[in-house]
Structure 1
Amino acid sequence: MSIAKRYNQKALFFSVILKERFERIFEYPLTIVEAPMGYGKTTAVREFLNNTGANVLWQRVYGSSLDSFWHGFSRLFAELDDFLSRNLEQLGFPDDSISRLEALRLIEDLEMTVKTVLVIDDYHLIDNFLVNSFIEFLVESEVANLHVILTARYTELQGLDELKLKGYLYHITKQTFELMPKDIAGYYRLCGIRLKTFEAEELYSLTEGWISALYLLMLNYIEEGSFRTITNIYNLVEKAVYAPFAEEVKAFLLTLCLFDSFTLEQAIHMWQKENAGLILTEITNKNAFVKYDHKTKTYQMHNIFTNFLKDKLEGKSVKQQIQWRAAQWYLKEGNYFASMHYFYACKDFDQLLFALENNKANGVNNANRRELFIKYFKECPDDVKSKHHFALLIFALSFIIYREPVLFEKACREFIGNIQKDDSLNNEFRQRLLGEYELLLSFTGYNDINKMSEHHQKAAKLLHEPTSFIDLQANWTYGAPSVLHMFYRESGRLEKHVHDIIEALPYYYQITNGHGSGAEYVMEAERYFNMGDFINAEIVMHKALNNARTNNQTGIVICALFLQIRLSIWKGDYATVLDLFQVMHESISDLGQSNFNHTINICEGYVYSLLKQRDKIPSWIGSGDFSSSRLLFPTVPMLNIVYGRVLLIDGEYLRLIGNAEHFIGLASVFPNLLGQIYTYIYLTAANGQIFRTDEAIFALIEALAIAMPDKVYMPFVENCDYIKPFLEQLYNQGKYGEDIIRILELYKTYQKSVECMIKENFSAEEKPDLTERETQIAQLAADGLSNKEIGERLYISINTVKTQLKSIFEKLGVNSRALLKQEFKEKL
């Protein structure tokens, strides 16, 4: 064998077949590059994309955490649109249909004018069916100019075969990366080594074309002048890569092996010496297992090398110190859950609770973190918890949300015991802690206004500043679009409930900096509305809206707008209904508060079920799919109000009757009288449709018995299309005479309004058609052109395109370009 005098150990070689396969990536929305560790997947994808002129968004997966995955995914878009990136992150991982649609809308709004490639590297590490589902949804939506590449050792996409059949997926497998003998000879030639034919064949037999093994054998050859048969890849890494480094470099590598990717600043933090940059230069110059990405300004370790170093770190006394430094890095960066993970790994519970307190109560309502909070609380030593009073309050709040009463009581006992024994607390700070504790206890009194207010008033006397452990950006209504729905709990006392909440909430506002402002007026306005006093309802509604907007309380704004929508239905003003829904969507989009999408969907489901427009009801509501972790328990009775009406208009009478007991049970927990009233009304309707008159009358009497002491008429008015004969039957029997007369009077006006709206806006012969200009824009949008491209093609501004698309979406009843493509082409 003849040997060149100079070696190029970092030369990159790609076989002809690999190049040919990669050339087809842009023909598909999704490409999966699948091969075991060490086959050069990441390097090949990176090098290919560098020469395409495409805009590349690169995400590396480090584990199975949904939070970490979504944080990384969201930040990818920061360089293109920081507002979009923040909106995506604020949305949280889209784990249900509505949040997936919102994520899609945000990404589509980016208007990618050049080919954009989203690479998710080491995708197998996430190993989560929810992420798989989101990726499949994104791909099938065919976002214009967006291509997704997943690199993975293995893939378990549920719809893999279907994606292939539909032409969405291009699959590059291990065989593409295997170097045949002639390829091995070509690779070694680039590196400065000339092989004879039999040597290349022997290397192929030994490695089966695995380039990492070929690389390590080459390093071994350069060092010793011969190829040695070493079957264990880590032995090769040890001998050819790790051993030649000086001891300081080896120690440096161990300090960074927790990260597959890191910045120079991160390296300096971990190494705690200023020569980190010099060491990194030496490392990257000597081997291809650590590379520097100039675009992201990060150093990236190959998985084989990272795993080797992690094995080396096991059992070493320095491991705990390295984990602690990693935790401190994430703490400094504000990534509190990552810092808690590493503090837990090195059992530094003091710093773990410090990180928890810095994070306050942000994110505790995420059901995916339930087990983490329980684990941290149970394993943290008592003497550590005794020094972290705010942490115990956060734990206790999380246990309320996770419905863990035993752990809640334990956290409360520990909190009170600790502050009593803590001699370091001055009287002012002890009072502050007790004030925070009273605020915490108020949540245990939900939805009893007076019980909650007792704690709020005590807290207001003790706190001289707003609370510092509650997430004041959270939705005050827990996602429900009705305050009356939340706090109407005793029949005959609705007026008193309204009076109580008006008296009580100022104390709460004092200690929460106005959180939920306007809620009391929403409830007052809703009472007037349900009594049929629409003038007072509208007056007070505007008062609520002004209060909520002044204090940036988006959840209360949505509640007020929802009531305004119901008033508009009463007037038969469908144009205003559409405008108000648009205001709702804009109010959450402009503020980056897309977590309210579920709330808006509930409003939409409610309205379109009244108008019997089944196709406009959000699919997740129509199917009764309420499994999303975003839905908090107080919202569920309101969802059942909508879902019950959907079952009614679907003709699912038996299912509705079968579900009624469950609906009433859920509405009785706090209790929630509106949920009970509507369910009994639906039982009346459903039994009536299957000619069970006695059962229908019995259910109607139950509903009237709850509602009539408070003159809550509108639930009956809105469902008179099903229950009118039974109301008349009761009237003829001399029961609830005055109330039934009032309900039927209100229904005359309401019925005319609804029939008029349906005739003018939803009848087939009257369905609005697209104008010529709208047809042009819809065609171009369906073909995948961005707003900018459409504007250039038609010589109109981007704003005009956006306005026209809004009109097109409303006329066709769609809310994304993907649905537009389907609906518009069907219309043609």
Structure 2
Amino acid sequence: MVMLENAFKPKMLERQKLQKLLLRSRQKPLVYLYGLMGSGKTTSVEMYLKKSGGPPAVWFTCPDEVMDEQWAWGRFVQTLGQRLPELASALSEAGIPQSSSDVGRIMDILTQQLSQDILLVIDDFHLVQNLHLKRLAAIIAKEQPQNLRLILISRNPPEPVFYELEIKGRCTIIGQESLNFTAGEIQIFYRQNGFPLEGEAVRKLNAYCGGWTATVYLSLLQYAETHRLDAIDKAEKFVWTAICEKMGQAEQKILVQLSQLNTFTLEQASFVTGAPEAAAVVQQMLRKNCFIHYHTQSRTYQLHTILKNVVNQQNLLSQAEIQELNRQNGVWYQRQEKPLEAINAYRRAGNDDAILEIMEQKGATELLDQAPSLIIESFKAIPPWKRLSHPRAYLSFLCSYLVVVDAERALELLEEAKAVYRKNPNLPNKKRILGEIALIESYAVFNDLEEMSIRHRQAYEAFEGGESQIQWSQMDFTFGCPSILYLYHSRFGGLRQILDRLKKDGWYYTHVSGGCGAGHEYILEAEYAMGLGQWSKAQNAIEKAQIKAKEKKQKSILISALFQQMRLELYLGDEKKIRSCRKKMEEAAANSDIPSQRQSAEIALGFVSAVMGRSDEIPVWLKKGDTEYYTAPPQGKGIIAIVHGMAEILENNPIKLEIHAELLLEHSRRNHFIIGEIYARLFKAIAVEQQGGDGAPILKSLLSDMRPDGYYSPLIELSPHVLAMLCRLKPEDAEPVLEDCRHFNDLYENYHGICAAGLTVREKEILTLLCRGYARKQIGTELKIGLPTVKTHIRNIYNKLQVSKKADAIKKAEKLSLI
């Protein structure tokens, strides 16, 4: 330690041109700083923050060892939470943006939740892979939220959109040329450290270093020792000779060990290396500016990439020593209750048993949702015999893999595991393990209630009335689909049998899974009652579902119940209650921390908007039918196609609608989704009509198939688009549904008229404030959005209301009951 204490400590140069650039950018919402590794980007921003005296900064360094976007987002939110817990909570619930609508929702959160000025610094921005996150940064610069500024530090040049923003005065780009040391700066740097250089010496050093900050810094360290420019080594050797060789052997070993870690706390450094003095070495390096960063918010340290690369090139650790370091790091994270970080460390260590131990914990199925790539790659690296020797861990993995990733492959592996476990006479808890397999298999036959019930009863008997050790009570029972009927109606004429089966056997699954899906049988009953026109019975069933789901904290069932309540209010024609339900659904989406539940809520909102003829309120990803955005299990994806088809009807694009109908019909018949088939045939009839043909025969055939069940909700909700066809049918063919369709068609004209303008929620808020006499600047202050954003919204409001001034907009709003 003595050798490091005596090492020369350079005084860092405050680079005036960089500081001026950063200070001049204080009024800009975004600064994009880019340059090569070792260009001094991070140090420059750190010095600026110390000098500027501006708003508090939240500093997040993108982790290079994280394999999953979701996991990285979680790290970001955790960092933000140390300074802004409420904002972090809201962003955690929103989840990583996967679509344009997600980006818009996060912008709303940022503008509404930020009540104080904040500077957000994102270091190593080049590691961000999510395109929507990159777009979010550009939108922040474009919309200029009042309380937020961004500094992005990257090794890569910015994308074109940032250059466009720079031209518009909303972004400052600082590139490699600004980061490079000039000959004058080199001369000042050497002089302030007691080594005046002149003329030829400065020119030679400048030519050698090429302006690279790291090389200039390291050259000074070596010059301080030799006082000779001709003794300066190449860059990599600089680091080793100027820093590492000056350490004692024990300190060198600690440094080499820490180079295997990404970030670490002082306690973690001592624990992982097994050296109590590791904390002191780290602190001493920080005091000596020895290529180490300290992250204030997370209280973690990080070796500079240059130092890590150089140290690792020395090959001072054996493979066995590296594995042991990673194993110890995994133990550390496991004790801190950070399972994903622990699994990642154990994966690097090749410690399969430790990974399997974590996956044996109840709720481990959730980990694959949070970091799919990490979990899948970790299991791929584990030999098959070892996976099989840990049944609980392996079955937890297969359960998630079946539901989320690849059902066909998961079933193959599950069948192999079942054969092995059945043949093993000495398998501990054999009966329970086979029960867990039966429960997992039920997901593969989820819309065949008879087969599902058989497996649920098998699990119940195997657990002897107890609960599964694998299933998580908060799993998304609805697969991200707000309609239970869509999921389970698999045969024309069999709907009543499905209800009876669920009433009789549905409780088996709810019991063995610890309450998952509680109340789903009442949702199905409510959907069926609405299809029969039994409104009070439907309301009663919805209320029962809500009570049961609340008791068991089943958010997916509560979302489904709210969806059915919205549909019921549509039938009853209560616009006020529909608005109230919409608000509750939006809150449900915001308050869920499971992506598939948020998407289920969006699907419900999109469906109701389409039924009401309000195309502009349908989320963009649903209009596009973007199944890539949809992160829920594939079982629920067909409902997206239904909402997308309804959006196509409103867009009056019959050719696209017809092709879409054919694809939906093929998908629905292959997977036995009767509700999907009904909508596909309705879409086909409507597309034929829109092209000047006769869709009535298609409708007649569909009505014949639907008659045994008596369930007509899809026709009633699409009555504005099918009523003309119904009226051309013989009375006996149209009789079961004609009057209901006429009634709903009248309601539709009212719904569509109320929101013919198609205003978004934000536009309605701004219109309300305009009607109250707010000026544009006051609206921006009230809603915490920038003035340019307010102007854009007002322009859109005028266009949609087909007016050109404020007074006319207020009159039109009053006429349409928009306020």
Alpha-carbon spacing, 1:357–1:232, altered in 2? closer, same or farther (3 Å): farther
Give the equivalent residue in structure 2 for 1:192. Answer: 194
Give the equivalent residue in structure 1 for 2:545. Answer: 544
Distance, in Å, in 1 between the alignment partners of 2:367 and 2:778 is 37
TM-superposed deviation, 1:700 = 1.4
Give the equivalent residue in structure 2 for 1:783. Answer: 780
Task: Output aligned runs, 1:220-299, within 5 Å.
Answer: 220-228=222-230, 230=232, 232-293=234-295, 296-299=298-301
Q: Relative to structure 2, which stretch is displaced further, 333-342 or 444-453?
A: 333-342
Distance, in Å, in 1 between the alignment partners of 2:302 and 2:350 is 28
Please list the CA deviations of residues 244-270 of structure 1 after superposition, one character each: whole Å capped at 9, or x if unmatched: 111111110111113343211111221
State whether structure 2 residue 111 is matched by structure 1 residue 108. yes
TM-superposed deviation, 1:644 = 1.1
Give the equivalent residue in structure 2 for 1:361. Answer: 365
Distance, in Å, in 2 between the alignment partners of 1:776 and 1:509 is 54
Distance, in Å, in 2 between the alignment partners of 1:88 and 1:591 is 11
Distance, in Å, in 2 between the alignment partners of 1:378 and 1:600 is 34
Distance, in Å, in 2 between the alignment partners of 1:77 and 1:777 is 33
The total of aligned residue pairs comes to 782
TM-superposed deviation, 1:158 = 5.7
Task: Output aligned runs, 1:126-525, within 5 Å.
Answer: 126-155=128-157, 157=159, 159-228=161-230, 230=232, 232-293=234-295, 296-313=298-315, 316-317=318-319, 318-358=321-361, 360-365=364-369, 369=372, 372-401=374-403, 402-418=405-421, 420-421=423-424, 423=426, 425=428, 429-463=429-463, 464-525=465-526
Task: Output aligned runs, 1:615-764, within 5 Å.
Answer: 615-693=616-694, 696-731=695-730, 737=732, 740-762=734-756
Q: Is the 8 A contact 1:395 1:411 kept in 2?
A: no
Secondary structure (helix, strand or coil) at the match of 1:668 reads helix
Letter in 2 for 1:705: S
Q: Is the 8 A contact 2:55 2:119 kept in 1?
A: yes
Secondary structure (helix, strand or coil) at the match of 1:544 reads helix
Distance, in Å, in 2 between the alignment partners of 1:772 and 1:624 is 34
State whether structure 2 residue 20 is matched by structure 1 residue 26. no
Q: Relative to structure 2, which stretch is displaced further, 574-583 or 533-542?
A: 533-542
Secondary structure (helix, strand or coil) at the match of 1:577 reads helix
Q: Is the 8 A contact 1:677 1:706 kept in 2?
A: no
Alpha-carbon spacing, 1:276–1:768, altered in 2? closer, same or farther (3 Å): closer
Q: Is the 8 A contact 1:476 1:555 kept in 2?
A: yes
Distance, in Å, in 2 between the alignment partners of 1:255 and 1:308 is 13
Q: Is the 8 A contact 1:663 1:675 kept in 2?
A: yes
Alpha-carbon spacing, 1:254–1:105, altered in 2? closer, same or farther (3 Å): same
Distance, in Å, in 1 between the alignment partners of 2:789 and 2:459 is 50
Q: Relative to structure 2, which stretch is displaced further, 683-692 or 466-475?
A: 466-475
Distance, in Å, in 1 between the alignment partners of 2:724 and 2:452 is 42
Give the equivalent residue in structure 2 for 1:606. Answer: 607
Distance, in Å, in 2 between the alignment partners of 1:90 and 1:412 is 37
TM-superposed deviation, 1:786 = 6.6
TM-superposed deviation, 1:182 = 1.8
Secondary structure (helix, strand or coil) at the match of 1:468 reads coil
Letter in 1 for 2:736: R
Distance, in Å, in 2 between the alignment partners of 1:453 and 1:648 is 38
Distance, in Å, in 1 between the alignment partners of 2:610 and 2:92 is 32
Q: Is the 8 A contact 1:714 1:743 kept in 2?
A: no
Q: Relative to structure 2, which stretch is displaced further, 678-687 or 336-345?
A: 336-345
Distance, in Å, in 2 between the alignment partners of 1:662 and 1:817 is 45
Letter in 1 for 2:80: F
Letter in 2 for 1:192: G
Distance, in Å, in 2 between the alignment partners of 1:157 and 1:768 is 34
Letter in 2 for 1:622: K
Q: Relative to structure 2, which stretch is displaced further, 515-524 or 602-611?
A: 602-611
Distance, in Å, in 2 between the alignment partners of 1:777 and 1:769 is 9
TM-superposed deviation, 1:606 = 1.4
Please list the CA deviations of residues 319-375 of structure 1 after superposition, one character each: whole Å capped at 9, or x if unmatched: 222222223233333333333233222322122222333461014346x725x5554
Secondary structure (helix, strand or coil) at the match of 2:149 reads strand
Distance, in Å, in 2 between the alignment partners of 1:191 and 1:413 is 69
Distance, in Å, in 2 between the alignment partners of 1:422 and 1:84 is 54
Secondary structure (helix, strand or coil) at the match of 1:331 reads helix
Secondary structure (helix, strand or coil) at the match of 2:219 reads helix
Please list the CA deviations of residues 216-235 of structure 1 after superposition, one character each: whole Å capped at 9, or x if unmatched: 11111122222235453111
Letter in 2 for 1:32: Y
Q: Is the 8 A contact 1:35 1:173 kept in 2?
A: yes
Please list the CA deviations of residues 79-131 of structure 1 after superposition, one character each: whole Å capped at 9, or x if unmatched: 244344244335432222333333333333322322x1111111223345354
Q: Is the 8 A contact 2:256 2:317 kept in 1?
A: no
Give the equivalent residue in structure 1 for 2:817. Answer: none
Letter in 2 for 1:379: A
TM-superposed deviation, 1:591 = 5.7
TM-superposed deviation, 1:185 = 1.6
TM-superposed deviation, 1:604 = 1.9
What RMSD, in angstroms, separates the aligned Cα atoms of the two structures?
2.8
Secondary structure (helix, strand or coil) at the match of 1:669 reads helix
Segments of 5+ residues of structure 1 without an aligned counterpart are 1-5, 791-815
Q: Share of identical aligned residues, percent?
A: 23
Distance, in Å, in 2 between the alignment partners of 1:717 and 1:36 is 62
Query: TM-score under structure 2 normalisation?
Result: 0.89
Distance, in Å, in 1 between the alignment partners of 2:754 and 2:288 is 75
